[in-house]
């Protein structure tokens, strides 16, 4: 990884630079590789500047996790606002939006869907929060669409919601792991097929 060029930056720009480099190191090598000394070296700054910004290694890592969580949440909110042709296509439309968000910021989504070892407790707190947010969205989408009245959903609504969540998560992970093999078109076609089967559409 090339060293960043030393230059004068505003406090906000320097903070973003430090968090960007931290995210890159964590994405490639894991949290254990993100030491104060390593990040300072990669940024071309002194360790003192990092301590001034974040107070400690833990403070820096938590700040990075929080920023990336905000980015991922914003991407998710944009994804679920996509307007499908009908309520029955909400699942596929939302997934399409999520795949776009993943392609725009793969390191961010890898952190939360495939978290590296050694992450701070706050990372897993954000994971639980994002899972709850997604499950709530699926529940509301089912209710709004009227699909929960179908035979399959009515058998066990909770399990249907959790199954849809698991499917969406797995498809996004496949995109992150091998975007060449798992194209957006391929993943959306499979999601649409499963949605038709699940909700008995013709």
Q: Which residue has the higher pLDDT, 3 or 196?
A: 196
Question: In the structure, what pLDDT confidence band is assigned to residue 201 with cuts at 50, 70 and 90?
Answer: very low
Tell me how far apart the alpha carbons of residues 109 and 111 are, in angstroms, rounded to a whole number: 5
Q: What percent of the chain has pLDDT over 70?
A: 86
- Write the CATH number of the domain with boundaries 65-198: 1.10.357.10
Q: Does the global pTM surpass 0.85?
A: no
Among 155, 158, 154, 172, CA closest to 111: 172
Q: Domain residue spans in the chain?
A: 11-55, 65-198
The least confident of 46-55, 63-72, 76-85, 110-119 is 76-85
Q: What integer is the mean pLDDT of 162-184? A: 94
- Write the CATH number of the domain with boundaries 11-55: 1.10.10.60
The least confident of 121-130, 158-167, 183-192 is 158-167
Tokens standing for residue 119 = 């992450």
Q: Determine which helix (DSSP H) or strand (DSSP E) holds 110, and give its type and residue range.
A: helix 106-113
Question: In the structure, what pLDDT confidence band is assigned to residue 5 with cuts at 50, 70 and 90?
Answer: very low
Q: What integer is the mean pLDDT of 111-135? A: 92
Contacts of 175 (CB under 8 A, 6+ apart): 99, 102, 103, 182, 184, 187
Question: In the structure, what pLDDT confidence band is assigned to residue 98 with cuts at 50, 70 and 90?
Answer: very high
């Amino acid at each position: 990884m090339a060293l960043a060029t030393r230059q004068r930056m505003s406090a906000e720009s320097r903070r973003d630079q430090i968090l960007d480099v931290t995210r890159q190191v964590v994405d490639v090598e894991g949290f254990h590789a993100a030491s104060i000394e390593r990040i300072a070296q990669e940024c071309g700054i002194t360790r003192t500047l990092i301590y001034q910004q974040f107070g400690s290694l833990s403070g820096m890592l938590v700040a990075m996790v929080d920023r990336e969580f905000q980015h991922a949440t914003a991407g998710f909110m944009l994804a679920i606002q996509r307007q499908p042709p009908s309520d029955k296509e909400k699942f596929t439309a939302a997934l399409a939006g999520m795949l776009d968000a993943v392609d725009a910021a793969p390191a961010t989504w890898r952190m939360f869907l495939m978290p590296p070892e050694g992450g701070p407790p706050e990372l897993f707190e954000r994971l639980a929060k994002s899972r709850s947010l997604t499950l709530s969205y699926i529940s509301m989408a089912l209710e709004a669409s009227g699909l929960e009245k179908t035979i399959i959903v009515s058998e066990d609504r909770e399990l249907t919601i959790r199954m849809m969540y698991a499917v969406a998560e797995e498809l996004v992970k496949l995109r992150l792991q091998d975007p060449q093999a798992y194209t957006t078109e391929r993943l959306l076609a499979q999601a649409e097929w499963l949605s038709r089967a699940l909700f008995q559409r013709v």
